[in-house]
Structure 1
Amino acid sequence: MALNAGYSYHSQVQRGGVSLLAYLTGTFRHSAAEVWAQRLAAGEIEVGGVRATGDEALRPGQEVVWHRPPWQEPDAPLEFGVLFADASLLAVTKPSGLPTLPGGGFYEHTLLHQVRRHFPGASPLHRLGRGTSGLVLFARGETAGAALSAAWREREVTKTYLALVAGLPSWDTLEITAPIGPVAHPRLGEVYAASPAGKASHSAARVLERRPQALGVGETLLAVDIHTGRPHQIRIHVAWAGFPLQGDPLYAPGGGPLPELPGLPGDGGYLLHAWRLGFRHPGTGQCLTLEAPPPPELQM
Structure 2
Amino acid sequence: MSSKVPKTPEELEEMLRVVRKKITPETEGHGILDFLCTKFTYRSREDWHTALLDGSSQINAKQVEDCDYILKAGDVISLDVTNIPEPSVDADFKVVYEDDDILMVEKTGDLPVHPAGSFFKNTLWYFLVKKYGNIHIMNRLDRETSGLVLVARHHKAASVLGKQFERRQVGKEYDVLVEGLVQWDEYDALGYMGPAESSKIRKKFSFTEAEDWQDYGKLSARTEFTVLRRSNELSHLHCRLHTGRTHQIRATLLSLGFPLVGDKIYGVDEQFFLSFIDGILSDEDRQRMRVGRQALHCSLMSFVHPMSGEELVFKSSLPNELAELILP
1:80 to partner: Cα distance = 1.0
Which 10-residue stretch deviates more, 197-206 or 159-168? Answer: 197-206
Question: Does residue 250 in structure 1 map to residue 275 in structure 2?
Answer: no
> Partners in 2 of 1:298 and 1:156 — Cα distance?
29
Q: Secondary structure at the match of 1:238?
A: helix
Hey, what does 1:298 align to over in structure 2?
323
Alpha carbons 1:94, 1:136 under 8 Å: kept: yes
Question: Does residue 150 in structure 1 map to residue 174 in structure 2?
Answer: no
Question: Does residue 224 in structure 1 map to residue 236 in structure 2?
Answer: no
**TM-score, L = length of structure 1:** 0.73
The runs of 5 or more residues in structure 1 that have no matched partner are 14-24, 56-63
1:151 to partner: Cα distance = 0.8
Hey, what does 2:91 align to over in structure 1?
78
Aligned pair partner of 2:310 in 274, 279, 286: 286
The runs of 5 or more residues in structure 2 that have no matched partner are 1-12, 23-30, 39-46, 66-76, 210-215, 278-288
Hey, what does 1:208 align to over in structure 2?
228
Identity of aligned residues (%): 28
Which residue type is aligned with residue 155 of structure 1?
Answer: R
> Partners in 2 of 1:246 and 1:81 — Cα distance?
24
Alpha carbons 1:163, 1:223 under 8 Å: kept: yes
1:98 to partner: Cα distance = 0.9
Aligned pair partner of 1:241 in 247, 256, 271: 256
- Residues 121 and 246 of structure 1: CA distance in aligned 2, closer, same or farther (over 3 Å): same
Hey, what does 1:138 align to over in structure 2?
151
**TM-score, L = length of structure 2:** 0.68
Give matches, 1:79-158, under 5 Å: 79-158=92-171
Give CA deviations for 1:85-136 in whole Å, capped at 9, x if unaligned. Answer: 1121111011011111122321111111112111211111111111111100
- Residues 74 and 191 of structure 1: CA distance in aligned 2, closer, same or farther (over 3 Å): same
> Partners in 1 of 2:49 and 2:15 — Cα distance?
19
Aligned pair partner of 2:294 in 270, 281, 292: 270
Q: Secondary structure at the match of 2:251?
A: helix
When you count helix as a share of all residues, which structure comes out higher? Answer: 2
Alpha carbons 2:109, 2:293 under 8 Å: kept: no
Which residue type is aligned with residue 261 of structure 1?
Answer: Q
Aligned pair partner of 1:183 in 178, 188, 196: 196
> Partners in 1 of 2:104 and 2:134 — Cα distance?
14
Question: Does residue 261 in structure 1 map to residue 293 in structure 2?
Answer: no
> Partners in 2 of 1:210 and 1:12 — Cα distance?
45
- Residues 206 and 289 of structure 1: CA distance in aligned 2, closer, same or farther (over 3 Å): same
> Partners in 2 of 1:242 and 1:285 — Cα distance?
42
Hey, what does 1:17 align to over in structure 2?
none
1:184 to partner: Cα distance = 3.5
CA RMSD between the two structures: 3.8
- Residues 154 and 37 of structure 1: CA distance in aligned 2, closer, same or farther (over 3 Å): same
> Partners in 1 of 2:142 and 2:21 — Cα distance?
29
Question: Does residue 199 in structure 1 map to residue 219 in structure 2?
Answer: yes
Which residue type is aligned with residue 8 of structure 1?
Answer: R
- Residues 73 and 11 of structure 1: CA distance in aligned 2, closer, same or farther (over 3 Å): closer
> Partners in 2 of 1:166 and 1:44 — Cα distance?
45
Which residue type is aligned with residue 240 of structure 2?
Answer: D
Which residue type is aligned with residue 204 of structure 1?
Answer: E
Q: Number of matched residues?
A: 264
